[in-house]
Structure 1
Amino acid sequence: MHTNVNDATTLDRLAIHTITTKPWTLPVALENYAAAGVGGISIWVEAIEGMSNAEVNQAVQAAGLKVPALVRGGFFCDSEASERARRIDHNRKLIETAAEISADMLVLVVGATPGEPLDRQRGWVQDGIEQLMPDAESHNVQIAIEPLHPMYAADKSCINRLADARMMCESIRNRMLGVALDVYHTWWDPDLEREIELLGKLDAIFGFHLCDWRVPTRDFLNDRALMGDGCIDIKGIRKMVEAAGFSGWNEVEIFSDEHWARDQHDFLADIIDRYSIC
């Protein structure tokens, strides 16, 4: 169950994550994205702190934007069972929030705990996701596992390859569960094309995130580059996901101290310009 997005104009399939223009509040981001003709906004939970879900939904509807995703849920991994249960309950609330702000999906960064075997942690993740699936179904909110680059395996995500996410989807087998593919985290994978094909056969590509990998990278968290300023074959990967049947949003997600320090209007203009080469 994917959201099919109209291709009538160049920007109809473009969505931008609120974290990309982090200095802007949600109302300011909505106003400026809409004015620029951007079709969608993926909302980070940090951007809606202090706002009710009804206020967020009203603001989104007034701006005329769609919400591909609420970002981020997950973080299932902890050595204490009681803490893992608490985190599952927190994700249930995030699914409710996603539904109430008209978001298509909740994106999961699954988490990791240093010192615990990764296989054990993946078991915790699968258990957590399985417990969430009835909530996802009842609220009609998709759940998207986002594999993170292996550099984050110690403390942010024990799912680091598309294959890991795909196998979990195959194991759980629920139409509401799929994958968010971020080029920053997956471009390096020698099995990328094959895994995209397999995910396509499962109808499990729910999200597609854009940015670039700067060379040399100055910071592994907050130095993502604008599309075209790095080494990722973004156009090639986009062709792969579309050949696999993906017809949803192209979501720009850039963490960058450099770009956050800029005039955000200029940054937004550059995002739209660079999107044309993707």
Structure 2
Amino acid sequence: MKELTNLDRLCVHTITTKPWSIEESIEQYARAGVKGITIWRDTLENRDRRLIRKKIKDAGLEVVSICRGGFFPKATAGERERAIDDNLALIDEAAEVGAPHIVLVCGAEPTISLAQSRHQIMEGISRINSYARDKGVKLAIEPLHPMYADSRSAVNTMEQANDMWEQLNSKNIGIAVDIYHLWWDPHLQDEIKRAGAADSIMAFHTCDWKNPTTDFLLDRGLMGEGIAPIMEIRSWVEDAGFKGFIEVEIFSEYHWKKDQKIFLNEVINAYRQFA
């Protein structure tokens, strides 16, 4: 496996450096030699998205994706329609900013069963897919750790994501593999192979699972700070044929308190050593 001596495949999510505005992120990532940026939707509020697209291009960065769509399951039909409308609006935003795909945090509804949530997820993705395809935007299903099955996502394993992908049967849909959510899965290697054979791996996200952790959402580790087998999982993904960006996505109250220029350098060093 080729060592990452340069930053050609490094993508940083704007949530990783949350204290920065989208403009600051663009400037600082480019200055540090980062080549890819994944945009979190909130950073585009009150912005001219086409102007942001130009700023990214002029800085020599590539838009890798936009986060996040989904959250399809709801208790009422009206809420489900509003979720569809919100995803359709996000597809427009993705097209305007030049994002090739949207990461779908598929959602879950605690007042209904997991089976019902998964049915509504399938229905929701099916309803927005043709519009996304017409806009040139793909959809990446991201399985989340089972601890989020109550309200964030009823898609919790690569096997479930693969099964869903097969049923949806669209080349405009793929899967985002996120180490934080999947490192524990005993079937992960086989399911990554399965996704690779279908050419459905659309994204690869990395960070680390800290032990002990202070928060299951806002205490993700910088690569090398935790116990996830990052290099091994990266090798599985690449053996499965994925050659895209390696995306660093870290939610961390601890790291957000730092000088973000220092933290970005730490991200780059950790990427070179562990990702």
The residue that corresponds to 1:236 in the other structure is 232
Aligned-partner SS, 1:121? helix
> 1:4 — aligned with what?
none
**Which residue identity does 1:56 align to in structure 2?**
I
Aligned to 2:254: 258
Letter in 2 for 1:167: D
Structure 2 residue aligned with 1:140: 136
The residue aligned with 1:23 is 19
From 54, 59, 82, the equivalent of 2:55 is 59
Deviations 1:68-114 (A, max 9, x none): 11000001010111211121121111111111111111000011111
Of stretches 238-247 and 91-100 in structure 1, the one that deviates more from structure 2 is 91-100
Match of 1:123 in 2: 119
CA distance in 1, matches of 2:198, 2:94: 24
Q: Give the 3-state SS of the residue equivalent to 2:24 in structure 1.
A: helix
The range that moved more, 184-193 or 52-61, is 52-61
How many Å separate the matches in 2 of 1:213 and 1:9? 24
Residue 45 in structure 1 maps to residue 41 in structure 2:
yes
* Partner residue, 2:31: 35
Asked if the contact 2:177–2:203 (Cα under 8 Å) also holds between the matched residues in 1, the reply is yes
Q: Secondary structure at 2:100's aligned position in 1?
A: strand
Equivalent-residue separation in structure 1 for 2:81 and 2:159 (angstroms): 26
**Which structure 2 residues correspond to residues 1-278 of structure 1 after superposition, within 5 A?**
10-277=6-273, 278=275
Q: Alignment partner of 1:163: what SS?
A: helix
Gaps of 5+ in 1: 1-6
Between stretches 55-64 and 10-19, larger displacement belongs to: 55-64
Q: Deviation of residue 9 (structure 1)?
A: 6.5
TM norm structure 2 = 0.97
Aligned residues: 272
- TM normalised by structure 1 equals 0.96
Offset of residue 221 of structure 1: 0.5
The answer to whether the Cα contact below 8 Å between 2:4 and 2:272 also exists between their aligned partners in 1 is: no
Q: Sequence identity, in percent? A: 47
Deviation track 1:41-65 (CA, whole Å, cap 9, x = no partner) reads: 0000011111022222122122121
> Does the residue aligned with 1:246 lie in a helix, a strand or coil?
coil
The alpha-carbon deviation at position 184 of structure 1 amounts to 0.2
Moved over 4 A (4+): none
How far, CA to CA, are the matches of 1:180 and 1:94 in structure 2? Answer: 18
1:3 aligns with: none
Deviation at 1:266, TM superposition (A): 0.5
> Kindly tell me: are residues 8 and 99 of structure 1, through their superposed partners in 2, closer, same or farther at Cα, counting changes over 3 Å?
farther
Which letter does structure 1 place at the counterpart of 2:57? Q
SS in 2 for 1:87: helix
Which amino acid in structure 2 is aligned with residue 98 of structure 1?
Answer: A
What do residues 120-144 of structure 1 show as CA deviations (whole Å, max 9, x unaligned)? 1100000010111111211111100
CA distance in 2: counterparts of 1:142 and 1:13, whole angstroms: 20
Distance 1:100 1:201 in 2: 32
Task: Output the CA distance in 1 between the equivalents of 2:33 and 2:42.
Answer: 24
SS at 1:103 equivalent: coil
Q: Over the residues paired in the alignment, what is the CA RMSD in angstroms?
A: 1.2
